[in-house]
Structure 1
């Protein structure tokens, strides 16, 4: 019997980059989109820096997205559903792949027109808790000319992934260099990390 998480895990095991074009259902994606639109309306999205608390650089030119951290205490029905799906995924991942994940953190991310994130890895140099990156996209009818592709580099090749609604991408935070190409329209996602401390 297959599990709903097998596609993401199996594609990761095959290629070091897991991709599932149906990881989130359409209703959940729509609810998370509406959350982002409300956060923007309420002016609660903040410019992302680089680095963690110890070495944060808010004047960087690496990235141009705005973020808002998720938290179960927000008591938002769509955040709760998303984070429950993450917890179910972690439980299955630990049971089948023995990864020992015992924490996570996720935020909404918006790249406005003209924004990008230059090539980088997700694991901090002074903190190795982030083990896996998990990105879920919330953009309907995304076209090639809209830009904003996730570009993941591996063995001198670059894999481009469209940030299409319901698609999720999964890879090791300390191994995969990646970037977000310049976006030609507003691009929404939920981005986060599975952690082991």
Structure 2
């Protein structure tokens, strides 16, 4: 049976905490990674983009194999430009840059850039089990998901479900992680297959990856 894990950030340095979690298990759950005010501001920006028609149906695959597969995933996404963030996005991207430097300092991964998008799952939408690192493409190394949902409750559904991968893990897998606003989930992209379960209300996140050079 899947278990639900909650992790409190407490008073420790959030970047040290995330790096320690990644070293121990490959997965980190950091609540209140950003302030409630910033969560609300970013979520508002995403909803304004949604209302302006700036989101598109997400696709699966890459390159020539990219295709629309609503039977696999049926969320909507809007890609961001980390090189030119809006004033609202800037504080989060600055935190991500600090996190990238911390991870590189501890693991020597050579992470050099971030790519990310808003993801909105309307009620009932989901994403089947998948890895974030594509077969034959090694660029995506670390996944970072910031949730932007106000007052999310267990009965709302929409959990991120993490499954055992190819390597043994001491984590209580499978594990369900609720998309609570301000929560940052960070994990090694090739280590954990995962899925997004259907929710009873709109589910919003800022999902992205630290990458290495091809």
| Shorter-chain TM-score range | over 0.9
Question: 1:59 Cα deviation (Å)?
Answer: 3.5
Residue 110 of structure 2 aligns to a residue whose secondary structure is coil
TM-score by length of 2: 0.86
Q: 1:108 to 1:98 in 2, by over 3 A?
A: same
Deviates more, 1:43-52 or 1:151-160: 151-160
Corresponding residue number in structure 1 for 2:197: 181
Structure 2 residue corresponding to 1:82, chosen from 88, 92, 98: 92
Give runs of aligned pairs for residues 31-70 of structure 1, distance below 5 A: 31-70=41-80
CA RMSD, Structure 1 to Structure 2 (Å): 1.8
Q: 1:160 to 1:20 in 2, by over 3 A?
A: same
Structure 2 residue corresponding to 1:29, chosen from 29, 36, 39: 39
Corresponding residue number in structure 2 for 1:125: 135
Question: 1:16 Cα deviation (Å)?
Answer: 2.1
Q: Distance in 2 between matches of 1:158 and 1:109?
A: 23
Corresponding residue number in structure 2 for 1:196: 212
- Equivalent pairs, count: 197
Question: 1:73 Cα deviation (Å)?
Answer: 5.6
Contact preservation (8 Å) 2:82, 2:115: no
Residue 14 of structure 2 aligns to a residue whose secondary structure is coil
Deviations 1:77-102 (CA, angstroms, capped at 9, x unpaired): 12222222111110111112322111
Corresponding residue number in structure 2 for 1:158: 174
Residue 31 of structure 1 aligns to a residue whose secondary structure is helix
Deviations 1:44-101 (CA, angstroms, capped at 9, x unpaired): 1111000122310114421111000111465511222222211111011111232211
Deviations 1:24-58 (CA, angstroms, capped at 9, x unpaired): 22121111100111011101111100012231011
Q: Distance in 1 between matches of 2:33 and 2:113?
A: 20
Contact preservation (8 Å) 1:50, 1:60: no
TM-score by length of 1: 0.93
Deviations 1:108-150 (CA, angstroms, capped at 9, x unpaired): 0100001000111001113110011110101111111111000
Q: Distance in 1 between matches of 2:72 and 2:145?
A: 18
Deviates more, 1:107-116 or 1:22-31: 22-31
Question: 1:13 Cα deviation (Å)?
Answer: 2.4
